[in-house]
């Protein structure tokens, strides 16, 4: 497992824990609350990683002893059960190793996830809704909470756009590699001639940031629009201009919120999302990213896709960056995307970076 971006070094982690114990035991530490909170956060994170590592080591040792006993007694049933347990332990350790790579500045944060229909008309809007369902199913499976921020229905079916907030530890770290254009090939349910169609939708993921993160926004750089919310809701939501859209003119970033009953709450959501988007841009600059958040998605169409979902004439979902692929399309569209998320993190182990 990894402690700070590489393979986990247990001995160095123990030494660092001793240093942190000494630092946090100093009564004068809290004279500087900001430094104290940072050290306590590092200590708690390190304790959790060491605890997990030591637990895996103990479990492995116990299994090894039991296997030796089962072999000595020629207990085939016990051996089979232990080998199954070892396989499960191996999967848990692999997952923990990948998760430990989530050491970026905002990896542990909640995440905003945007979906926008692209080229393909009604087909693309239906595809956008399918993707939104895929991510909400993934979140449910991992015990993350989801909150709808904005949703604009399609003219005939599906969605033009939607924004959700996914809450849980490492939500942003796991999902950040999903940013990009997703391409679908299938027989169109909207085509009476049953022809094959190609559709596109883009996904954008950015971190929810704390209020203490200072992101300066000049109000003069922003255009604020209010409008009547659409979609499901009570009497109030569709009868007043409670929905809010903020456009940050220098960057072209547009954020909107319509799910809250009051314009004030929707405006507050928009400012939070805008701060998060600008914060993500700053992180990308520090990492020497080639382009900022929305630009690195490119045009929402041919040539910019990060993943291809082919349902006809054969069934295959393939990530074009990691080459991870599966023919179990139903499982993926039902939210089982861990194969692709893990592959993106695994590239860090090899020293590669996912665009």
Q: What are the pLDDT digits (tens) for 299-324?
A: 555 556 899 999 999 999 999 999 99
In this structure, the chain runs to a length of 355
Res 41 pLDDT > 70: yes
DSSP state of 221: G
Distance CA 47, CA 53 (A): 10
Res 164 pLDDT > 80: yes
Q: What is the mean pLDDT of the chain?
A: 84
Pair type for strands 305-310 and 180-187: parallel
Domain boundaries, the chain: 10-99, 111-349
Question: How much is the pLDDT for 261?
Answer: 81
pTM of the model: 0.70
What's the pLDDT tens digit per position in 261-288? 888 899 999 999 998 888 888 777 765 4
Question: How much is the pLDDT for 289?
Answer: 43
Q: Which residue has the higher pLDDT, 106 or 294?
A: 106
Residue with tokens 């600059």: 285
Question: How much is the pLDDT for 286?
Answer: 63
For 93-105, give one letter per residue: b (16+ CB within 10 A) or e: beebbbbbbbbbe
State the DSSP string of 108-126: TS-EEEEEEE-TTHHHHHH
Fold observed for domain 111-349: Alpha-Beta Plaits (3.30.70)
Please give the share of the chain, as a percent, with pLDDT higher than 70: 86
The confidence band for 174, taking pLDDT boundaries of 50, 70 and 90, is very high
Helix (H) or strand (E) holding 162: strand 159-167
Question: How much is the pLDDT for 5?
Answer: 39
Q: Span 133-154, mean pLDDT?
A: 93
Domains 10-99 and 111-349 share a fold: no
**What's the chain's Rg over C-alpha atoms?**
24
Contact partners, residue 258, CB within 8 Å, separation at least 6: 150, 151, 229, 230, 231, 237, 242, 243, 244, 266
Fold observed for domain 10-99: Methane Monooxygenase Hydroxylase; Chain G, domain 1 (1.20.58)
Question: How much is the pLDDT for 105?
Answer: 75
What's the pLDDT tens digit per position in 64-79? 999 999 999 899 999 9
């Amino acid at each position: 497992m990894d402690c700070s971006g590489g393979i986990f070094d247990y001995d160095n982690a123990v030494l660092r824990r001793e240093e942190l114990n000494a630092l946090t035991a100093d009564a004068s530490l809290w004279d500087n609350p900001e430094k104290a909170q940072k050290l306590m956060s590092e200590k708690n994170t390190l304790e959790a990683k060491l605890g997990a590592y030591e637990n895996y080591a103990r479990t492995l040792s116990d299994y090894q002893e039991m296997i030796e006993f089962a072999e000595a007694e020629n207990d085939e049933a016990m051996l089979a059960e232990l080998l199954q347990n070892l396989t499960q332990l191996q999967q848990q350790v692999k997952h923990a190793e990948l998760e430990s790579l989530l050491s970026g500045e905002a990896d542990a944060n909640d995440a905003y996830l945007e979906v926008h229909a692209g080229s393909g008309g009604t087909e693309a809007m239906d595809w956008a809704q399918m993707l939104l369902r895929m991510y909400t199913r993934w979140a449910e499976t991992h015990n993350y909470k989801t909150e709808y921020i904005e949703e604009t229905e399609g003219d005939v079916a599906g969605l033009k756009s939607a924004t959700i907030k996914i809450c849980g530890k490492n939500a942003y770290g796991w999902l950040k590699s999903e940013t990009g254009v997703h391409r679908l090939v299938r027989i169109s349910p909207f085509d009476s001639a049953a022809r094959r169609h190609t559709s596109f939708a883009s996904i954008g993921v950015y971190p929810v940031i704390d209020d203490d993160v200072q992101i300066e926004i000049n109000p003069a750089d922003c255009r604020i629009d209010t409008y009547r919310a659409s979609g499901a809701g009570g009497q109030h939501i569709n009868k007043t201009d409670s929905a809010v859209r903020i456009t940050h003119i220098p960057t072209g970033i547009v954020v909107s919120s319509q799910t809250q009953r009051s314009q004030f709450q929707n405006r507050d959501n928009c400012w939070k999302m805008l701060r998060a988007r600008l914060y993500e841009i700053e992180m990308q600059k520090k990492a020497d990213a080639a382009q900022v958040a929305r630009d690195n998605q490119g045009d929402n169409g041919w040539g910019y896709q990060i993943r291809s979902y082919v349902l006809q004439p054969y069934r295959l979902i393939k990530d074009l960056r990691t080459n991870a692929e599966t023919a179990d399309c139903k499982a993926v569209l039902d939210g089982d995307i861990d194969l692709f998320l893990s592959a993106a993190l695994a590239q860090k182990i090899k020293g590669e970076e996912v665009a």
